[in-house]
Structure 1
Amino acid sequence: MVSGTAVVDDAQPRSTHAAPPEQRRLVLVAYAVGFALVALCFGLDRTLGVVAGVLNVVFGIYFCRHLAFAVAAARWAERDMLAAEVGLTTYTPSVAVLVGCKNEELVVDGMVTALFALDYPADRLTLVVVDDGSDDSTGARLDAWAARDPRLRVLHRPLGSGGGKSGALNDALSLVDADIAVVFDADHEPEPAALRRLVRHFRDPVVGAVMGRCVIRNGRDSQLAGTVFVDFLSGYLVNEYGRQALFELPAYGGANCAVRMSTLRALGGWNPHTVTEDTDLTLRVLMAGQRVRYDLSAVDFEEAVVSARRFWTQRYRWARGHQKCFRDYWRPLMRSPYLSLVEKIETTLFLLVYHVPLLAGIGLLLTVLRAFDIGELPIVGLLPLSMLLFIGPLAELSVGLLIGRVERRAAWRLIGFLPAFALSIWITTRAYLDGMLGRPYSWVKTSRSGATSTVKVDAPAPLAVSAATTRGRAS
């Protein structure tokens, strides 16, 4: 993701609906005092048993949700791909492709090369890349590209301009006048047809934004990168497809995504007071009465983090921003006239996904306490708590591997999710406590490694990402 020097202070959210930090701190105190009082009145064992029962209900709901998405993807995803060639050449609105870069010298050349290879009418396409105060060779590389090819426009932001990725993209808006804005990240390399596949959905006036499918290209670079590769198969081939197929409520993902320019300008652009501008924009689009669509055939390739430190940096930002979006928007979401009750429930479950690992940590703690005969379990406690923590996501991951047609040995990468899940519990818990305590958070850039390798697939298939689509990258 693009980085800036902005500090996101939870005391100053864009939305006026979120409680101030002082109130959030009181909520934490209320949790502790309430638990202590209930335990005093009814006993520790019974109190812990009730907590375990409530958690079982929550995990059961998410288990059913994961399973439904897995079934939907296994049943219909490949069929939908067969119809993915419809309407690729008959609708060509004007498009501005926007990319923000900060210290991206390792990946910027591959990204610009991929942008020049996009299959779209030249007179309907504008390419704008923002150098967001880089102190490496990113700016010079972009200027060299622009000097060779006038299709590329480069905007240099001064160091300390602020706003992070949102600030960079908002500055780019002043340079363009187009119907659709399409956003990629600096490490992304879209397939040539990605633009046509994204913009065709805007024929429908109710569509405000469209998300494409991101594929990890360096899954062989480390065990963690391989885990993220499988995670993206689950997230894009199964989870987002399931949300589209069952609820028509996929999320705008922030990169390899398109947004209607009139919608974006009416909403005031991207929110500079959040570190997850994609989730924030998703909610604002929905509450404005428009919808997001997902196109699993609009593919681009991106780089996975290759170390635990980079994983922490990236996922902490995702958790911190996602949790803030829940605090900012759940109240107006419940009052929205544009969403049905079922759609409000599903959107709330989506907003709470970065709270679930935190709850899972509490559930695992209760399981350990129960092993020492602490914590009476109610009837609902008969549900296999520890299994519900993993079976739902495992179903999504397994279906993602099947639909993605990856090589057989990639299935062993599922084992990598055990330590990754444990790390996610700690990350989301830390993010939650920091957010509730109102601790300011500085946007931290995800470091790149400049990886170019791809994970090999087993055989050609409609949903497979084959070596032929990687434009010469090593397999």
Structure 2
Amino acid sequence: MNWIYLLIGVYGMAMAGIFLYSLVQGHLLWQFLKVAGHHREQPVINENDWPRVTVQLPIYNEKYVVERLLDAVAALDYPAGKLEIQVLDDSTDETTLIIRQKLSEYPHLDRRHIQRTSRQGFKAGALKEGLKTAKGEFIAIFDADFVPDKLFLRKTIPYFADKKTGMVQTRWTHLNKNYSLLTRLQAFALDAHFLVEQVGRNAQHAFINFNGTAGVWRKTCILDAGNWEADTLTEDLDLSYRAQKSGWGFLYLPEVASPAELPPVMSALKSQQYRWTKGGAECARKHLWSVLSAGFPLKTKVHATAHLLNSTIFMAILTVSLLSVPIWVLGNMDLLPPWMWDYGYLFMIGFVIISLVYFVANSYEEKKWHRKLFQFIWHLPLFLAVSMGMALHNSIAVWEGLTGKKTPFIRTPKFNLSQSNSNWKSNRYLNFNLPVSTYVEGGMALLFTVLVAVSFVSGLFILLPFHLFLAVGYGLVFLMSYRSRLRAKT
């Protein structure tokens, strides 16, 4: 019987981790609601006193979106002579020619087309190279799939009036949110981060992160924090923690929207998720102990721990998923202690908290909230299922990050699906090779589908809702992955 209690112990610890995650999310929701709706007074700058700004555009093989980006940046409303544009071009295809032709259309701009002889350091290396010659006191950064508002700089730069402010981040919005179910579910998740999480952390002066794009840095802050480093896959999160540990303040502006494109195909989403989750784990390995051992307030340490380790939630979900199979067998054989089921209500509380976080995030700006309620009832179960279905893929990334395994920076393919031709199949940057893990996801979908069927046939309904979510989640992730490969061949 000892092995049964060992099994219960591991299962319980994983469930406890998920429950603690929900409590932290609940606290962020509470902090968000405390400040939601408060009007922020923007500092006033005399027209002659606007500082010099450098806009950095890190580009690597972005033929589909680079013209759109350059047109948007060229339209930025900022005092003449105070704006410099750096196109940090590491491309190896015709993107470079497209950039040259597009820049020639804007001879009035102070623009530089910077090309390196190698991609050493990837995005971090390109940003660092550009910083060497940047004229601006402030550095605005946009990835290739963003379309910044023309007033972006006028809405962000004034907040650097506080000399302790090192970075200002704005909220991502979505150009192609309604393109497909996959993009709607991504928007569902990202809106929670860019409203509840970022606002909730910033409201209590906890660590927040630069999201890699659509933000502005004080140049001296970057240099004081040690400049860009490429030893993690999330150079943005890494520099954010180094800067805040050095005493710089960060500001988040949810009222400033920065539109961007969501990956419309599962292979591109998995590439993005792999980099984000592995990079987050690498930053936890690099920064967590130094944050915990420093003299920060307890709440700052708690939220920094949850922030740096948030990708480990996928490892907890994967553990609970796999162990639920023997738990299901033992439960149906009456070999589990009765008290085990008495704590189930705690995890229902966690589910309610997570549901509230996502409901608030996705209905906050909707005046007719009841309309959002119906969408929410449809999207929440699908989002939770697909998140569970991504647990295997993301757990592999987290494990590699925590154990120090190094892999190259793989950027997310961009599409520009706002064009009349919205077919992504011809995108040359997509990788349609299916790793072994994709077939394992298919096997997991089959396993949990069988368990659901057996539960209905036998009338043994222990863990049925959980296994149903897993069957749907792994099934959708596998089918979307495999279907993208089939569609690419047609």
Matched residue count:
409
1:209 aligned counterpart, secondary structure: strand
2:189 aligned partner, one-letter code: D
Offset from partner CA, 1:261-303 (integer Å, 9 cap, x none): 1111123321122210111011101211112211112211110
Q: CA deviation at 1:315?
A: 0.2
2:156–2:216 CA contact under 8 A, matched in 1: yes
Write out aligned runs for 1:394-433 (5 A). Answer: 394-405=355-366, 408=372, 410-411=375-376, 412-433=378-399
Partner Cα separation in structure 2 for residue 301 and residue 134 of structure 1: 27
Partner Cα separation in structure 2 for residue 436 and residue 238 of structure 1: 27
Q: 1:342 aligns with which of 279, 285, 299?
A: 299
Offset from partner CA, 1:118-147 (integer Å, 9 cap, x none): 2221222211111113312x2122212322
- Determine whether 1:60 maps to 2:26: no
2:233 aligned counterpart, secondary structure: coil
Q: CA deviation at 1:229?
A: 1.5
2:69–2:147 CA contact under 8 A, matched in 1: yes
1:166–1:271 CA contact under 8 A, matched in 2: yes
Partner Cα separation in structure 1 for residue 209 and residue 398 of structure 2: 21
2:131 aligned partner, one-letter code: L
Partner Cα separation in structure 2 for residue 414 and residue 107 of structure 1: 31
List runs of 5+ in structure 1 lacking aligned partners.
1-41, 454-475
1:185 aligned counterpart, secondary structure: coil
Equivalence for 2:208: 250
- Determine whether 1:266 maps to 2:224: yes
TM-score by length of 1: 0.79
Most deviating of 120-129 and 156-165: 156-165
2:273 aligned counterpart, secondary structure: helix
1:53–1:378 CA contact under 8 A, matched in 2: no
1:233–1:400 CA contact under 8 A, matched in 2: yes
Q: CA deviation at 1:103?
A: 1.1
Identity %: 23
- Determine whether 1:142 maps to 2:108: no
2:67 aligned counterpart, secondary structure: helix
2:362 aligned partner, one-letter code: L
2:279–2:401 CA contact under 8 A, matched in 1: no
Equivalence for 1:116: 74
Q: CA deviation at 1:410?
A: 4.4
Write out aligned runs for 1:148-297 (5 A). Answer: 148-150=105-107, 151-158=109-116, 160-297=118-255
Q: CA deviation at 1:377?
A: 7.5
Write out aligned runs for 1:378-389 (5 A). Answer: 382-384=343-345, 387=348
Write out aligned runs for 1:298-447 (5 A). Answer: 298-337=256-295, 339-373=296-330, 376=337, 382-384=343-345, 387=348, 390-405=351-366, 408=372, 410-411=375-376, 412-436=378-402, 438-447=404-413
1:368 aligned partner, one-letter code: V
Equivalence for 2:474: none
Offset from partner CA, 1:43-102 (integer Å, 9 cap, x none): 11222223333334332322122123234434532x23x435554767632211111111
Please give the root-mean-square deviation of Cα atoms over the aligned residues, in Å. 2.6
2:364 aligned partner, one-letter code: I
Partner Cα separation in structure 2 for residue 345 and residue 437 of structure 1: 23
- Larger RCO, structure (CA 8 Å, separation 6 or more): 1
Q: CA, structure 1 residues 112+75, in 2 after alignment: closer, same or farther (shift >3 Å)?
A: same
Most deviating of 402-411 and 172-181: 402-411
Partner Cα separation in structure 2 for residue 362 and residue 88 of structure 1: 54
1:148 aligned counterpart, secondary structure: coil
Partner Cα separation in structure 2 for residue 187 and residue 54 of structure 1: 40
Partner Cα separation in structure 2 for residue 168 and residue 125 of structure 1: 19
1:289 aligned partner, one-letter code: G
Partner Cα separation in structure 1 for residue 69 and residue 87 of structure 2: 10
Offset from partner CA, 1:321-346 (integer Å, 9 cap, x none): 11011011112122223x22221121
Q: CA deviation at 1:111?
A: 1.0
Q: CA, structure 1 residues 279+73, in 2 after alignment: closer, same or farther (shift >3 Å)?
A: same
Q: Which of the pair is proportionally richer in helix?
A: 2
Q: CA, structure 1 residues 62+438, in 2 after alignment: closer, same or farther (shift >3 Å)?
A: closer
